[in-house]
Structure 1
Amino acid sequence: MRDLCILRLSALGDVCNLVPSVRALQTAQPELKITWIIGRAEYSLLEGLEGVDFLVYDKKTGLAGMAALRKKLLAQRNGQPFDVLLHMQAALRASLLSRFIPARRRIGFDAERAKDFQNWFVHEQLAANPRQHVGEGFLDFVRHLGVQPGPLQWGIPLPQTAVDEARRWQPEDQAYLVLSPCSSNRARNWRNWSNQGYAALVDYAYENYGLQTLLTGGPTELEQETAKTIAELAKAPVINATGQTSLKALLCLIRDARLVVAPDSGPIHMAVAMQTPPLGLYATSNPDRTGPWLGREFVANRYPEAVKHFLDRDVNQVGWGQRVRDPAALDLITQEDVQQRLDAIMNSKEKLA
């Protein structure tokens, strides 16, 4: 195998979880040429990743963009196909895009994980490996190629411009936590805790550990209003950088923070990549599947209770990716839950092992 192509467009947390698979392949075969077809925002997070050639696909361009990407690939490769395509996104749009990528071998997920008829678009499927973390699912592609992964490695590059940008937001001579209170806004996919709960945590962290809170997030109206409300409700001082940092600068802020607080969203996985303790808040999704790959002991986890209360089943009786589609599930996470997880982090090592 001389070269391969990875197809994974989104999302931020998923591409963070995929990087150790890239590192495992590079360790096993240093001369391997890797091309990664990726989304625009995700590329801005991973840009500069050593040994990887990125091609950005904008989903807004539809089939025309897919055709243009194929034309570019064929021109770059003198019409030659990749030895292997790792189709690592089980979604219909990605599967359609996969047919525009020339490759001799096309590898996708096993039957249980191959959503949206992904099996129609590949030649080979992974061996079944149920009830695994998303990151382990990506490593299954590495194992399928005959490589046994070693210790997890990320090494996402941080340019000096991002370091300088982050410094403008960091409190001087004071430890801080990063709070990213909002997940992506998807239909009937509630993940966000209450503003009052977040504000109380801001005050608890400041009063008990001297931690200042740095609020982060995107530029959407929901994220802006959420951050503003938390800052107004909190008595402790807050730095509000919501919608005002690049993703690379956010990685720097996360790297230097004492911990990250967030629901099931990208910053939790970015924290793991930076070896920063992740205080995740989970009630509507299973943290054993989509929670932080490392540091899962720091998660405030009410998913089993939510499954029992809203689905009337035990957690081992539902599908591995089962969501709880009720916003009231987040109310199961108590202030005491989150404070206890914060205490556990503050009594642990500063960086994940």
Structure 2
Amino acid sequence: MNWLGCKNILCIRPDNMGDLIMTVPAFRALKDTFGAKITVLTSSMAKGIIKNIAEIDDHIIFDLPWVKTEAQSKTDEFYEVVAQIKARKFDAAVIFTVYSQNPLPTAMLAYLAGIPKILAYSRENPYQLLTNWVPDKEPYTQLKHQVTRDLELVAAVGATSKDHKLRLTVNEVCWQPVTDKLTGLGIDLNRPWLILHAGVSEEKRRYPVKEWVAAAMQLINEGHQVLFTGSASEKQLTDELERLTGAGSFSIAGMLNIEEFVCLIKHAPVIVSVNTGTVHIAAAVGTPVVVLYAQTNPQHTPWMAPHKVLEFSVPNHLRSKNQVIAYVNKTIYNTHVAVPAASKVMAAVNDLLNLPGSPAQLFPEIPGENRATATS
């Protein structure tokens, strides 16, 4: 089915902030190829980053009941969003998913709204729900980075771009209020500093508090100031980390809005973070990042940016009941990996500070994926 006349495209990426950021190259491919207006339907958890994504022209915020989000939608709101989508008269819709998600409930949303062309990966035959069906082979016969997965989806309808990088616009006007807030806490930006981001939405991806404290103390002993970042809801955690770490550490959770946070990450020499949206913000602004990477999804390592990945196993009692994820656990994540010690974090930070831009760091390493495919 020809998509060349599609000038008003709905892109549905109803997950978290990091997922939305990883889809940016696919949005760019749709704009570059079709010259289309791109409207994104995403969740309340991702809406804050939209203003930093140049490829997005408009948005709809709705928390779909089949996607894990902080808010719970009501039945009446579902009918309202269908009516809203229908009123915008989209030419086509693209549904972006990770391999463990079923796209068909989302496809029904677009179908009920009367969108004439609907594209998605699907493991089962969608019949009339999708006009453009790409059979989903992941993770059983192949496994690709999420960016590659999304780019190959839109390529199925002819959308391509030469620029595959993650990109976020950085509002440098924010730097002055950021520096004012930091210096007000006693942080000296003329001395070495870096970010430690401990907050994460799922318990299974958490790095232990005692290891955060040990890593922070080692970094401080080497002359760094440590900024514990997070959302307002994570302030209790960052306050605790500051208290346990002591002098040279600073809790700044909840002090910055999203634009200020993006600006801070852009200016940071290195960040250390659990696997969350902060990692993808860093990749999108070119900041080196050490990822404390719980083995939940091998697709989501930093994309085309200097990085070090320190993996660790998810405890059995916290592992997902999703059988697609269970397959990955049995085949790829089937060997126990201990939580990385603070000394490994320290070594990774020093590697990135001393050897930025090494070719081995610039591209994601995904088990079973050909690196040339990921960067072509």
The whole-number CA distance in structure 2 between the counterparts of 1:321 and 1:164 is: 45
Q: 1:142 to 1:203 in 2, by over 3 A?
A: same
Is 1:101 the equivalent of 2:118? no
Which residue does the alignment assign to 2:243?
232
Q: Which amino acid is the alignment partner of residue 344 of structure 2?
A: D
CA distance in 2, matches of 1:218, 1:139: 30
Q: Which is further off, 293-302 or 234-243?
A: 293-302
Runs of 4+ in 1 over 6 A off after TM superposition: 117-120, 321-325
| Consecutive unaligned residues in structure 2, runs of 5 or more | 65-71, 320-324, 363-376
Q: Distance in 2 between matches of 1:265 and 1:15?
A: 12
TM-score by length of 2: 0.75
How far apart in 1 are the matches of 2:331 and 2:230? 23
Q: How far did 1:296 drift?
A: 7.2
The residue type equivalent to 2:277 in the other structure is G
Aligned residues of 1:191 and 1:330 also touching (Cα < 8 A): no
Aligned to 1:314: none
1:134 corresponding residue in structure 2: 146
The alignment-based identity, stated in percent, is 17
Give the structure 2 partner of residue 301 of structure 1: 311
- CA–CA distance in structure 1, aligned partners of residues 220 and 106 of structure 2: 44
Instruction: Give distance in 2, aligned partners of 1:193 and 1:6.
Output: 33
SS at match of 1:242: coil
Q: CA 1:192/1:43 → structure 2, altered by over 3 Å: closer, same or farther?
A: same
Whether contact under 8 Å (1:174, 1:212) holds in the other structure is: yes
Partner residue, 1:194:
208
**CA–CA separation in structure 1 for the residues paired with 2:129 and 2:331:** 26
Cα offset, 1:45, TM superposition: 0.9
SS at match of 1:349: coil
- Partner residue, 1:122: 130
Correspondence for 1:26: 31
Task: Give the alignment partner of residue 347 of structure 2, picking from 320, 337, 340.
Answer: 340
Letter in 2 for 1:179: L
Partner of 1:216: 229
1:241 aligns with 2:252: yes
CA distance, structure 2, for counterparts of residue 53 and residue 236 of structure 1: 45
- Aligned CA distance change for structure 1 residues 192 and 118 (closer, same or farther; 3 Å): farther
* Paired amino acid for 2:255: Q
- 1:161/1:330 CA distance change after superposition, 3 Å: farther
Partners of 1:324 and 1:245 in 2: CA distance: 38
CA contact (8 A) 2:62 2:81 kept: yes
Deviation at 1:181, TM superposition (A): 0.4
Instruction: Please give the alpha-carbon distance, in whole angstroms, between the structure 2 residues aligned to 1:54 and 1:291.
Output: 26
Shift of 1:338: 1.4
Residue of structure 1 equivalent to 2:156: 144
The answer for the alignment partner of 1:182 in structure 2 is 199
Which digits, 9 at most, give the CA deviation of each residue in 1:223-277, with x for residues without a partner?
2332122111214412211123222221111111111211111111111111111
Q: Which residue of 1 is the match for residue 16 of structure 2?
A: 11
Q: Which of 45, 50, 61 is matched with 1:46 structurally?
A: 50
Whole-angstrom distance in 2 between the partners of 1:274 and 1:331: 30
| 2:89 counterpart of 1:70 | no
Please report how far the alpha carbon of residue 219 of structure 1 lies from its aligned counterpart in structure 2 after TM superposition.
Answer: 2.5
Contact map agreement 1:262 1:268 (CA 8 A) in 2: yes
Q: Please give the secondary structure, in 2, of the residue aligned with 1:103.
A: coil
CA RMSD of aligned residues (A): 3.4
Is the CA contact (8 Å cut-off) linking 1:283 and 1:333 kept in structure 2? no
SS at match of 1:26: helix
Query: In 2 relative to 1, CA 338–93 (structure 1 residues): closer, same or farther, beyond 3 Å?
Result: farther
More displaced 10-residue stretch of structure 1: 237-246 or 161-170: 161-170
Q: Which residue of 37, 44, 68 corresponds with 2:41? A: 37
> What TM-score results when the alignment is normalised by the length of structure 1?
0.79
Q: Distance in 1 between matches of 2:354 and 2:126?
A: 45
Following the alignment from structure 1 to structure 2, what is the Cα–Cα distance between the partners of residues 343 and 23?
34
